[in-house]
Amino acid sequence: MKKIVVDKIWTLFLDRDGVINEKLENDYIKSWDEFKFKDEVLQSIAGLAKIFGRVIIVTNQRGVGLGLMTEDALKEIHDKMLSAVTSVSGRIDKIYYCTAVENNAECRKPNIGMGLKAKTEFREIIFSKSIIVGDSFSDMEFGKNLGMKRIFIDSSNNFENYEFYDSKFKSLHDFYIELRENIKSD
């Protein structure tokens, strides 16, 4: 990872599906029963929350817009996810989600609506001192469009387009371990 000096001024933006929980290919997480945390994610979020001033989730949730699930079902998933995070002394400051179906909707990544909304609610956010961790091109474009550092989660380890991201890891946990080691070596 390119050396980044992170402290409490920094904000961490996390994508949800594929970063925090297992992604369902060609489907949507529609209930808590389908939501499965990725290995060591809870401990990683708890550790990252001690490093970053803000931890924010930004997630496209087109399944609601398509009528495959309700917004109440999405909120239940998020409430239970937050409860699991806080049970291990982790912290998520806010979850922003976009239910729009249209790709050009301002709130839908790679568009920057969720980032701008976060900046409105948390004025201390400085995008140049923010990191997006995601597993898709739209996550990386979202970060690029806002001037963030971009961490790509590629569990297959097959993607080598270095202009697409600043650093690449197999998991959020691997990113956390390296970041923690960089901080210790300072």
Q: Is residue 172 part of a domain?
A: yes
Range of the domain at 139: 11-185
Q: Where residue 30 sits, what CATH number does that domain have?
A: 3.40.50.1000
Q: Is residue 2 part of a domain?
A: no
Which residues have a catalytic role annotated? 15, 17
Q: Is 154 left (phi over 0), alpha (psi -120 to 50) or beta?
A: beta
Q: Is residue 67 part of a domain?
A: yes
What pLDDT, in 10s, does the model give residues 94-106? 999 999 999 999 9
pTM, 2 dp: 0.95
- Distance separating alpha carbons of residues 69 and 84, to the nearest angstrom: 22
Q: How many domains does the chain have?
A: 1
Q: Is residue 4 part of a domain?
A: no
What pLDDT, in 10s, does the model give residues 104-161? 999 999 999 999 999 999 999 999 999 999 999 999 999 999 999 999 998 776 666 6
User: To the nearest whole number, what is the mean pLDDT of the chain?
Assistant: 94
